[in-house]
Every structure is written in structure tokens, then in C-alpha cells.
């Protein structure tokens, strides 16, 4: 529409018009037709379904262990899936909705297909479901940049193969961050509707109830949106409140629903005087250094000095190159157009992309990468997986590196170096953490579960299974369902001294006692010290079990003894 003086106006048709227009104009076909991306997605699926390592026990105990207990009917005579401290305390720190909406859905679908019986395939649906969710990030990156480069950077990253196809809460956090950045980009580059703001609030609520650290990751986009409002010439308190009211309402409603779900789950009633505020409880827990001591204290520079290079490798070089060559244009406020003489009809136009250092630029993705890292570094417990969501802004940032966008000979040389280092890093990282790290544990659990379900111990009434020098075993992959009469007890002694392990073995009064430990550890420390020990599955070990805490124990070991072993032991 054109005014009397030739001024062009944007006609407002409906609150959702901007959202649907954005969806219609997504150039997804450009990504879906890219042969490179297709190949990488197939490779991602193959890794997701074939990887049987364990990066950290939390990938099981913060998600599928709980969901399996809801869906499958485990035996009530022995031990069932384990609820860790996060789900048991008077003030629980985990919300149940992210679990129900991820592996809970995957297990329900498996039960619909196979019925209530247990299957050795129980670990596959969770990996496949996370694989499907991870594609959301590819789509968000491509739609923000209108280029396949960020999606290709993401699809070739070590993060996607090692972490995002596993049911970590950090993986769900990364997916929600991609959605939040996608919505924020729409707010910053187009005339935003109330639905934009409400959608952003809904994603933020889900993110916070998934992990409280989501607040750190979404802070830069929120500040950018606030700056946009302040820079608007038409911005008044009334108009800002009008646009923000739906967001506040959406945030409050969804948060209330999630709190109600948690309260009912933990308290058994909605009439409890003590409502469960899981994110707040987790925040209180994490600010107390005495609590973090049980998990391990680290120097506050660990994220930047060690975790950044380990997770992102050559991506840090490309991101730095993008920032250094950035010529930040001055950010101009959005123009205000008034339709006719009715100033009340003023509409905020989108800030032109060339004038806005937005999420398709450099500075805001850089802030989305650096600011959360600095905030997370305030906590003295620093695990690499806490930084997993950073792959979203980093992929946008890497795609802006000059050597990826220009065609000079120097740029081509740097481009070859970058992709070589980036892909080599991904291959090594995936091999180590996707296949070798604690790589014998899950295959052993699945093998034992088959034996327990097939009545291989038909003469026994109860079985003790002792795990030594392994991660805490996820029980939903091991213990049988109610249809199995065996009473199974799991004893996890972690890295206990040899004397303590022998005491536990000798004090076991079950009709059958099994010892699960790396074969090379048994050969070096236990051979001849345990009575009547016989290997349950022959002399060859199961898988390859890389223990990063005891690498020296693997030096010079026969490759056939690098995996896990299972021994049936007697008593003195």
C-alpha cells in the first residue's frame, strides 16, 4: 500500500501473518537437496544406532532410566531401574516433562510395536528419537542464514555425532536453543507479531525446565530483543507492554503447567502446600560449593582452556577469523511508518539486515557463544557436556569466516586446512567417545539381559551382579521384567580397592554371583584370587572398553582382552 506522498506501508492482516510468511519462505528445499547434507544425515543415523559407548552416566540416569520405569513393568522382587538423588530428594532438581517428551515417547512407541515384553532393542528408539530431534537444529541454522554452510558445519561437528544423538539433557537444551534463536532471528529481522514473542517465551520456559543453564544461553538474544525495542522510535511503554504481555502470559501459563506436572509426580497431589519448583531447586543446589564437591571441583578457567578446544577444535580458529574481519556497521533504529494521520496505527518495520548485527551476522552469534561460557565458568564444576548447546551459535559464526566465503587462493588454502582439521577432529572424537569410551558396558548389559530373559540361570532364585571399574550400569538395559522369576541385585562398586571388592564377593549369599569388569583388569588383578571363577561368555571379551581414568592398565594388553568380561564366581 502506498500513501499520498509515496510512502510505502506494510498492511497488517493478522497476528500470525508474519509467522506463516516466514515458514513459507524457508528455503528448506535448498538444504534437503544438498547431497553432502543427505550423506551426513545418513551417517548421523548410522552412528546413532551403532554407537554403544557411555560418555557419562547422566545420559541414562537423567532420562531413559526414569522413562523405562514408567513404560515397562519391571520385576518387583529384585531391583528395578534406579532413581538417582536428583529424583528422590525432598526438593527434587529435575523436571519430568523433558523426560516424558523425549525417551518417554520413544519407549511408548516401542511398546506399541512390540508389546509389554522387553527387548534388546530398547536402547535403539531413544537414539533414533534424538536423531530426529537433532535435525531441528539443521533446519533452524539453514533458515537463519539462508545458506547451507552453517548446517554443514553443524552436521560435520563432533558434537552432533557424540552428544546430540544421545538422551543427554544437554542435547535437549541445544535443540531448544536452536528453536529460541530461530524465533529471536524472526523478531530481530522482521516486523514481529505478538505470536513471535509468545513463542519465544514458550521455548524459554521449556528450556529452563530442561536445564536451568538455558537462561545463560538465551540471555544474548533476549538482550538483543530488548535493545530492538529501546531503539524503536515508536517504542512507548504502552506499546512495549502490549507486545510483551502475550509473552509474559505464555511464559506464566506453561511454567505453571510444568510446575503442576512436577508437583503431581513428586507429591502425588496438586493440593500439596509445597509445590515442586525443579529449576529453582537445581539453582539452589548448584550455588552451594559444598554440594558440588561430591561431583568434583574444577578451576574456573577449565571451560575456556580445555573444554573449548576439546569440543570445538578448529572451529575456534574459524570463529575468531569471523570476528576479526567483522566490520560492524552502526546499528540504526527501525523506521516508524504511520498509516494516514492515525499515529496509533504506527507499525515498527524490520531493521534492515545490513544495519543489524543479528543472528545472521557476527557479533550476536559471538555473544551467544562467549557470554554463556563466561557465566557457566562462574561455577567450579565444569564438564564438557555443559557447553554442548554452544554448537548452535558457533555454527552460525564459523559460516561467516572470510575464508569460507571468498575465492582467493589464500582463502581456498585456509578452507582446505579448516575442513581437514574439523573433519579429522570429528572422526577421532566420534571414535573415542562414540564407540570406545566405556564401550564394553552396554553390549555386556544387553548380553546379560538376554541370558536373564532366556532362563540361563533357571536353577537360581537370585543373582548378584557386581560391577567393578565401570561406569554405573543403567539398570533398564539389564534387569528383567516381571515375567522373569529371578531376583536380580546389582552392586556397583565403581573403582573400589581390590580388597573391598573381594570382601563383597565373599560376602555374597546369592545362589549365583556374577562379576562384570574389564577383562584386562581381571587378568592383572583378580586372576587366581577369586574362587571357582569361570568366564560366562568364553575367553574373548565383549567390545572394547576404554577407561580414560586407567589408560595405563591397557598398555601391552592382548587386543582380545581389551573389552568387558563376565565371570561366575564361587564363595569361600
SS (H, E, C) 321-390: HHHHCCCCCCCCCCCEECCCCCHHHCEECCCCHHHCCCCCCCHHHHHHHHHHHHHHCCCCCCCHHHHHHH
Indicate whether 14 belongs to any domain: no
Query: What's the pLDDT at 536?
Result: 79
Average pLDDT of span 338-346: 44
**Helix, strand, or coil (residue 212):** coil
Q: 425 or 463: whose pLDDT is higher?
A: 425
Indicate whether 502 belongs to any domain: yes
Where are the strands (E) in 299-381, listed by range? 336-337, 347-348
Domain boundary among 436, 468, 483: 436
Average pLDDT of span 83-90: 88
Query: What's the pLDDT at 10?
Result: 44
Are 25 and 136 in contact by the 8 Å Cβ rule? The answer is no
| DSSP secondary structure of 174-190 | HHHHHHHHHHHHHHHHS
Judge if 505 and 423 occupy the same domain: no
Query: What's the pLDDT at 348?
Result: 43
State the residue range of the domain holding 93: 25-436
**pLDDT (tens digit per residue) in 522-558:** 988 887 777 767 787 766 789 999 999 889 989 888 8
pLDDT at residue 394 tops 90: yes
Query: What's the pLDDT at 123?
Result: 85
| Euclidean distance between CA atoms 124 and 457, whole angstroms | 26
pLDDT at residue 325 tops 90: no
**Helix, strand, or coil (residue 568):** strand
Greatest mean pLDDT range, 173-182, 287-296, 511-520? 173-182
Indicate whether 19 belongs to any domain: no
**pLDDT (tens digit per residue) in 244-262:** 899 999 999 999 999 999 9
Query: What's the pLDDT at 51?
Result: 94
**pLDDT (tens digit per residue) in 169-192:** 999 999 999 999 999 999 988 877
Percent of the chain surpassing pLDDT 90 = 58
Judge if 148 and 59 occupy the same domain: yes
pLDDT band at 354 (very low <50, low <70, confident <90, very high): very low
pLDDT band at 327 (very low <50, low <70, confident <90, very high): low
- Domain count of the chain? 2
pLDDT at residue 6 tops 50: no
Query: What's the pLDDT at 429?
Result: 98
CA dihedral 156, 162, 164, 168 (to 10 degrees): -160
Query: What's the pLDDT at 475?
Result: 93
Neighbours of 68 (CB within 10 A): 25
Q: 15 or 101: whose pLDDT is higher?
A: 101
| Euclidean distance between CA atoms 73 and 80, whole angstroms | 9
Query: What's the pLDDT at 359?
Result: 66
Query: What's the pLDDT at 565?
Result: 93
Judge if 171 and 304 occupy the same domain: yes
Where are the strands (E) in 190-343, listed by range? 336-337
Domain boundary among 436, 463, 484: 436
Can you tell me which residue has the cell 545472521?
A: 360
pLDDT at residue 70 tops 70: yes
pLDDT at residue 31 tops 90: no
Indicate whether 3 belongs to any domain: no
pLDDT band at 21 (very low <50, low <70, confident <90, very high): low
Judge if 272 and 195 occupy the same domain: yes
DSSP letter at 436 equals I
Query: What's the pLDDT at 330?
Result: 45
Average pLDDT of span 122-150: 93
Judge if 452 and 367 occupy the same domain: no
Query: What's the pLDDT at 17?
Result: 52
Domain boundary among 404, 436, 468: 436
Judge if 431 and 454 occupy the same domain: no
Indicate whether 16 belongs to any domain: no
Judge if 415 and 453 occupy the same domain: no
Count of all residues that appear for the chain in the document: 572
Indicate whether 17 belongs to any domain: no
Where are the strands (E) in 469-549, listed by range? 487-492, 512-518, 534-535
Indicate whether 7 belongs to any domain: no
Q: What are phi and psi of 490, to 5 degrees?
A: -105, 130
Are 522 and 565 in contact by the 8 Å Cβ rule? The answer is yes
Percent of the chain surpassing pLDDT 70 = 86
Judge if 329 and 454 occupy the same domain: no
Instruction: Provide the grid cell at 306.
Output: 580445555
| Euclidean distance between CA atoms 549 and 338, whole angstroms | 67
**Helix, strand, or coil (residue 487):** strand
Judge if 413 and 450 occupy the same domain: no
Query: What's the pLDDT at 148?
Result: 93
Can you tell me which residue has the cell 531447586?
A: 281
Average pLDDT of span 356-363: 68
Which residues have CB under 8 Å from 408's CB, separation 6+? none
Q: What are phi and psi of 478, to 5 degrees?
A: -120, -55
Judge if 152 and 267 occupy the same domain: yes
| Euclidean distance between CA atoms 447 and 541, whole angstroms | 12
Task: Calculate the average pLDDT of the chain.
Answer: 86
Average pLDDT of span 380-406: 95
Which residues have CB under 8 Å from 362's CB, separation 6+? 322, 323, 326, 328, 397, 400
Instruction: Provide the grid cell at 214.
Output: 538455558
Judge if 274 and 411 occupy the same domain: yes
| Euclidean distance between CA atoms 103 and 381, whole angstroms | 27
pLDDT band at 328 (very low <50, low <70, confident <90, very high): very low
pLDDT at residue 23 tops 60: no
pLDDT at residue 265 tops 60: yes
Indicate whether 10 belongs to any domain: no
Judge if 134 and 171 occupy the same domain: yes
pLDDT at residue 105 tops 50: yes
Amino acid at each position: 500500500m502506498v500513501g499520498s506522498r509515496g510512502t510505502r506501508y506494510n498492511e497488517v492482516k493478522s497476528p500470525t501473518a508474519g509467522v506463516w510468511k516466514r515458514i513459507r519462505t524457508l528455503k528448506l528445499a535448498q538444504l534437503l537437496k544438498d547431497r553432502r547434507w543427505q550423506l551426513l544425515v545418513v551417517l548421523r543415523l548410522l552412528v546413532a544406532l551403532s554407537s554403544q559407548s557411555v560418555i557419562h552416566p547422566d545420559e541414562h540416569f537423567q532420562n531413559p532410566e526414569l522413562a523405562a520405569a514408567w513404560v515397562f513393568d519391571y520385576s518387583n522382587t529384585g531391583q528395578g531401574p534406579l532413581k538417582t538423588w536428583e529424583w528422590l530428594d525432598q526438593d527434587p532438581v529435575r523436571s519430568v516433562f523433558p523426560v516424558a517428551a523425549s525417551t518417554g515417547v520413544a519407549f511408548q512407541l516401542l511398546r506399541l510395536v512390540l508389546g509389554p515384553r522387553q527387548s534388546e532393542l530398547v536402547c535403539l528408539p531413544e537414539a533414533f528419537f534424538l536423531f530426529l530431534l537433532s535435525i531441528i537444529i539443521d533446519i533452524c541454522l539453514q533458515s537463519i542464514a539462508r545458506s547451507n554452510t552453517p548446517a554443514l558445519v553443524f552436521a560435520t561437528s563432533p558434537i552432533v555425532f557424540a552428544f546430540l544423538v544421545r538422551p543427554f539433557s544437554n542435547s535437549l537444551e541445544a535443540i531448544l536453543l536452536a528453536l529460541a534463536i530461530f524465533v529471536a532471528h524472526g523478531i530481530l529481522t522482521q516486523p514481529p507479531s505478538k505470536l513471535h514473542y509468545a513463542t519465544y517465551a514458550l521455548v524459554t520456559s521449556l528450556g529452563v525446565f530442561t536445564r536451568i543453564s538455558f537462561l545463560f544461553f538465551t540471555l544474548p538474544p533476549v538482550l538483543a530483543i530488548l535493545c530492538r525495542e529501546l531503539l524503536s522510535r515508536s517504542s512507548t511503554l504502552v506499546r512495549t507492554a502490549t507486545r510483551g504481555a502475550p509473552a509474559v502470559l505464555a511464559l506464566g501459563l506453561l511454567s505453571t503447567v510444568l510446575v503442576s506436572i512436577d508437583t503431581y509426580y513428586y507429591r502425588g497431589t496438586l493440593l500439596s502446600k509445597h509445590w515442586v519448583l525443579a529449576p529453582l531447586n537445581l539453582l539452589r543446589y548448584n550455588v552451594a560449593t559444598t554440594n558440588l564437591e561430591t561431583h568434583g571441583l574444577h578451576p574456573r578457567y577449565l571451560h575456556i582452556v580445555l573444554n573449548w578446544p576439546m569440543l570445538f577444535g578448529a572451529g575456534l580458529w574459524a570463529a575468531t577469523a569471523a570476528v576479526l574481519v567483522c566490520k560492524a556497521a552502526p546499528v540504526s533504529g527501525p523506521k516508524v511508518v504511520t498509516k494516514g494521520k492515525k499515529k496509533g496505527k504506527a507499525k515498527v518495520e524490520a531493521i534492515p539486515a545490513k544495519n543489524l548485527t543479528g543472528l545472521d551476522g557476527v557479533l550476536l552469534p559471538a555473544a551467544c557463544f562467549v557470554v554463556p561460557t563466561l557465566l557457566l565458568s562462574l561455577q567450579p564444576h565444569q564438564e564438557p557436556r555443559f557447553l554442548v548447546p554452544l554448537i548452535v551459535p558457533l555454527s552460525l559464526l564459523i559460516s561467516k569466516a572470510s575464508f569460507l566465503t571468498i575465492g582467493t587462493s589464500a582463502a581456498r588454502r585456509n578452507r582446505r586446512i579448516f575442513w581437514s582439521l574439523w573433519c579429522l577432529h570429528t572422526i577421532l572424537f566420534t571414535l573415542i567417545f562414540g564407540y570406545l569410551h566405556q564401550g564394553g558396558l552396554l553390549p555386556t548389559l544387553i548380553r546379560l539381559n538376554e541370558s536373564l530373559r532366556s532362563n540361563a540361570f533357571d536353577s537360581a532364585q537370585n543373582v548378584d551382579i557386581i560391577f567393578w571399574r565401570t561406569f554405573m550400569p543403567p539398570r533398564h538395559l539389564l534387569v528383567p521384567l516381571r515375567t522373569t522369576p529371578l531376583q536380580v541385585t546389582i552392586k556397583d562398586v565403581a573403582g573400589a580397592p581390590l580388597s573391598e571388592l573381594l570382601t563383597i564377593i565373599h560376602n555374597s549369599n546369592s545362589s549365583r554371583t556374577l562379576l562384570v569388569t574389564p577383562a584386562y583388569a581381571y587378568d592383572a588383578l583378580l586372576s587366581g584370587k577369586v574362587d571357582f571363577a569361570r568366564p560366562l561368555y568364553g575367553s574373548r571379551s565383549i567390545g572394547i572398553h576404554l577407561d580414560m581414568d586407567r589408560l595405563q592398565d591397557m598398555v601391552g594388553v592382548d587386543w582380545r582382552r581389551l573389552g568387558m568380561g563376565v565371570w561366575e564366581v564361587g564363595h569361600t
